[in-house]
Amino acid sequence: MKTTPESTPFSRARRQLPLILIACGAIAGALFLRDVLDFQALADNRERLLALRDAHYPVAVAGFILAYATLVTFSLPGATVATLTGGFLFETFPGVLFNMTGATIGAAILFLAARKGLGDRLAAKMDASEGRIARIKAGIDANQWEMLFLIRLIPVVPFFVANLLPALVGVPFGRFVLTTFVGIIPGALVYTSVGAGLGEIFEQGGTPDLTVIFSAEILLPLLGLAALAALPAVIRMLRKTPEV
């Protein structure tokens, strides 16, 4: 069998290098940053962060988006605190836009690393397979938009899982970016608004209620949006169901 440049061990390792580096960064972050990027760290450094924002607003915005993107790329602990920080420093608006931009950039980088390292070959194998795997892949391809919106809207799906899965099943990059940016709007808006009220919470010595997204007034509309996103896929399935 002839060996192509793309099939050599060196070329395979080179393709997987970005994903390997991200995995190493994620492990290191889980080990060393778990107790650093938390709410108490934000409370302790809030005055310095506000001073930096007031003195160098454009730099603060760029630095915040870069830091948020890094957190998401390496799946580091502290993404929720980062969202709160965006609201605390920049208010609900434009803070929500900065949060969404950082999250989308980080998700896109992780998506591309996974696609380059594993996704293209895995998707090709699924396309070339037969039987149940082929049917699963065909079902995913037929409902990509709905699937992507659902995993963003339903708050029980971990963010890093929602970034990796689409890369492994051949989702187009542009579609992934668009559905990520739009799909995270509800959750980002909720947590950014909580962050915008942190000044009063800090003064009282309290902590924010991060379970607010699971309250009925927030969760029910999110589930309604998820059901709406899934409706086209359900309709297509019903149309394909043979009549008895």
Does position 168 have pLDDT exceeding 60, yes or no? yes
Lookup: tokens for 27: 């492990």
DSSP-assigned letters across all residues of 143-190: THHHHHHHHHHSTTS-HHHHHHHHHHTT--HHHHHHHHHHHTHHHHHH
Q: Is the separation of the CB atoms in 120 and 12 below 8 Å?
A: no
Instruction: State pLDDT tens for residues 49-85.
Output: 999 999 999 999 999 999 999 999 998 888 889 999 9
Q: What is the pLDDT of residue 50?
A: 94
Name 231's Cβ contacts closer than 8 Å, sequence gap at least 6: none
Q: What number is the average pLDDT over the span 111-130?
A: 68
Whether pLDDT at 243 is above 50: no
Q: Specify the amino acid at residue 198.
A: L
Q: Which two tokens stand for residue 228?
A: 């709406």
pTM: 0.80
185-216 confidence digits (pLDDT tens): 988 998 899 889 888 877 777 777 666 656 66
